Amino acid sequence: MSKLENVLKKEPRRWIMNLVFAIAMILALIYSFSGSSINILRLQTVGIQFKLMLRGFSEINWNFLIGTGLYDFDEGIIYLALQTLSIAFTGTLIGSVLAIPFAFLSSKKIVGKFSKIGITLITFIRVFPEIILVLILVKGFGMTPLACVITIGLHSIGMLGKMFSEVIDNMDDGPIEALDAVGANTWQKIRYGIFPQIIPDLSSIALYRLDINVRSASILGIVGTTAGGFGAILSLAALFVDWRTLAAVLVVIVVLVLTVDAISSYLRRKLV
């Protein structure tokens, strides 16, 4: 018997542990169904509801979508789409600008051991989901699009600040060392040594965040009909099973998201 065969025989039989683990997971999955309270009778109506949904989706409420007939333009879904895009863009712009100082404060390459202060701050900002933030902010700003803008801006600071700081930490030290050698001050190092390196990456990350914020802005309006975006309309249409209105909203959301995604992807390819 060769030495290799002896070594292989001495190896632990991992397949036994894997088999035991797989059996335990299957038994746990089966047991979980016993407390799931699945209503079999209600499942029988899924097919009927699905047919009604498809019928409603084939009869889109075009007047509501465009803002004609019984609806004014500022009551139509296209207007809400423009409002949603404006909320997402403004919130992303605010978050991107304010995330830069947080990123420098969180960068080990810039502030050293004091970076923990910045990391703690942006982590604290990211703790709260956007829907929780908007529920808090509407108490102070009312059910207005401004509350949604501030929500997206604050949440973007937390996410962008972390990603921006990683970009700063991964930049080349050569230009900064060269500026330091000729006696440049701190602002000159930032202006001529750091920003030229990181601006393309920061812009690309901000555009990616805009994609996410467009989706978020679409549902933040769920807190109230005057808070902006599609959220309230989606909630009411689903509550009253208005498939025609729901279909109109979904069509515009799909077009909006795909358009923004295509434009931002093109711009990111040009920047990086």
Task: Provide the 3-class DSSP secondary structure of residue 112.
Answer: helix
Most confident of 6-20, 62-76, 86-100, 174-188: 86-100
Measured distance CA(84)–CA(215) in Å, rounded: 9
Q: Which residue has the tokens 């004014």?
A: 72
For residue 270, count CB atoms less than 10 angstroms from its CB and return exposed for 0-12, middle for 13-18, buried for 19 or more: exposed
- Decide if pLDDT at 11 tops 80: no
Domain assignment present for residue 181? The answer is yes
Measured distance CA(177)–CA(197) in Å, rounded: 14
- DSSP letter at 224? -
- Decide if pLDDT at 93 tops 90: yes
**CATH code of the domain in which 157 resides:** 1.10.3720.10
- Decide if pLDDT at 136 tops 80: yes
- Greatest Cα-to-Cα distance within the chain, rounded to the nearest angstrom: 89
Q: Give just the sign of the alpha carbon dihedral 129, 130, 131, 135.
A: positive
Measured distance CA(155)–CA(96) in Å, rounded: 10
Domain assignment present for residue 54? The answer is no
Instruction: Give the amino acid at 128.
Output: F
Domain assignment present for residue 165? The answer is yes
- Between 270 and 150, the higher pLDDT residue: 150
Q: 175-234, pLDDT tens digit by residue?
A: 878 888 888 777 887 888 888 888 888 888 898 898 888 888 888 877 765 566 777 777
Domain assignment present for residue 236? The answer is yes
Instruction: Identify whether the C-beta of residue 209 lies closer than 8 Å to the C-beta of residue 95.
Output: yes
Measured distance CA(125)–CA(256) in Å, rounded: 28
Q: Tell me the pLDDT band of 94, cut-offs 50, 70 and 90.
A: very high
Domain assignment present for residue 148? The answer is yes
Domain assignment present for residue 32? The answer is no
Tell me the average pLDDT of the chain. Answer: 80
What Rg value do the Cα atoms of the chain yield, rounded?
26
Most confident of 2-16, 62-76, 153-167, 256-270: 153-167
Lowest mean pLDDT among 20-29, 72-81, 84-93, 157-166: 72-81
Domain assignment present for residue 56? The answer is no
- Between 23 and 126, the higher pLDDT residue: 23
pLDDT above 90 covers a percentage of the chain that reads 6
Instruction: Identify whether the C-beta of residue 185 lies closer than 8 Å to the C-beta of residue 227.
Output: no
Number of folded domains in the chain? Answer: 1
- Between 245 and 116, the higher pLDDT residue: 116
pLDDT on residue 3: 60
Domain assignment present for residue 14? The answer is no
Measured distance CA(179)–CA(185) in Å, rounded: 8
- Decide if pLDDT at 1 tops 60: no
Give the residue from 143, 141, 152 showing the smallest Cα distance to 227. 143
- Decide if pLDDT at 33 tops 80: no
- Decide if pLDDT at 86 tops 80: yes
pLDDT on residue 12: 60
pLDDT on residue 96: 92
| Residue range(s) defining the domain that contains residue 86 | 62-271
